[in-house]
Amino acid sequence: MIKLNSKLSIVCLTGIFFIMFLAGCSKAYYSAMEKIGKEKRHLLIDNVEDVKESQTKAQEEFTDALTRIKELYGFDGGDLEKFYNRFKDSFEDCDYRAREIEKRINKVKKVGGDLFVEWEAEIQQINDLKLKAISRKSLKDAKTKYARLEGVMSVSTEKMYPVLAKLKDYVLYLKHNLNAKAVGSLSGEVVSIEKEVAGLIEDMTVSIKEAQNFINNFQ
């Protein structure tokens, strides 16, 4: 029972600290996290892990949306309302996940930037020139790895929005024209959106691999 309460307390404290972070109280947030053993480098890794998790889920949700679109090919006059609701649900899942990914990437950028500023300031406090040089090289290597990760994440994120815009167009069009003819008129759009979704999923795969590589190698 004591162990359970301890775990719950940590979860609650982490939640409170996260709210502080979002509110802009960065110093208080970092100070509080350090008290439970979480330095900025740990927070950065945790945040990258969160982005990776969200992108993995996004792959599944965009794939599901593509499946819904492909149903346009073989639509034979079935339950239009049911078809529309499934399609709308898929779009909303993708839209929610995209916003979650963007928020998590922004958090990665915030913590990453703060970490490197702190790292640079601490290097200035080292008197031993050899140790200072080693620390500066470590910082340079870390920045290079981070820049590569941020670039890959940004590319995959930016490509979500054109796809989402098209999906939203389809959802609204079907909402206003819920009939077999309208469904049939969208079937010609499948090839175009299919390529875009496939490209997006591939970019997310690259981003997920880069995130894992960063997690494995960041010092």
Q: What domain range includes position 17?
A: 1-38
Mean pLDDT of the chain: 84
Tens of pLDDT, residue by residue over 167-212, are 999 889 888 887 777 777 776 677 778 888 888 999 999 999 999 9
Host H or E run for residue 213 = helix 190-217
Tallying the residues shown for the chain, one arrives at 219
Give the long-range contacts of residues 67-75, CB within 8 A, separation 24 or more: 69/170, 69/186, 69/189, 69/190, 69/193, 69/194, 70/190, 70/194, 72/183, 72/184, 72/186, 72/187, 72/189, 72/190, 73/187, 73/190, 75/180, 75/183, 75/184, 75/187
Residues 57 and 24 in one domain: no
* Number of CB atoms found within 10 A of residue 177's CB: 12
Residues 151 and 127 in one domain: yes
Residues 83 and 174 in one domain: yes
Residues 99 and 161 in one domain: yes
Q: Which residues contact 149 (CB under 8 A, 6 or more apart)?
A: 48, 210, 211, 214
Lowest mean pLDDT among 40-49, 86-95, 144-153, 171-180: 171-180
pLDDT, average across residues 122-144? 96
Q: Give me the pLDDT at residue 170, please.
A: 86
In the chain, the amino acid numbered 182 is A
In the chain, the amino acid numbered 149 is L
Residues 45 and 33 in one domain: no
* Number of CB atoms found within 10 A of residue 203's CB: 19
In this predicted structure, the answer to whether residue 107 has a pLDDT above a threshold of 70 is yes
Residues 27 and 94 in one domain: no
Residues 82 and 28 in one domain: no
Residues 55 and 33 in one domain: no
pLDDT, average across residues 104-129? 95
Euclidean distance between CA atoms 36 and 26, whole angstroms: 16
Q: Give me the pLDDT at residue 191, please.
A: 73
* Domains held by the chain: number: 2
Q: Which residues contact 194 (CB under 8 A, 6 or more apart)?
A: 66, 69, 70
* Number of CB atoms found within 10 A of residue 204's CB: 25
In this predicted structure, the answer to whether residue 21 has a pLDDT above a threshold of 60 is no
- Which of 93, 3, 12, 87 minimizes the C-alpha distance to 57? 93
Residues 211 and 135 in one domain: yes
- What CATH number is attached to the domain comprising 180? 1.20.120
In this predicted structure, the answer to whether residue 72 has a pLDDT above a threshold of 90 is no
Instruction: Let me know: does 72 contact 126? Beta carbons within 8 Å.
Output: no
Residues 166 and 121 in one domain: yes
Residues 107 and 58 in one domain: yes
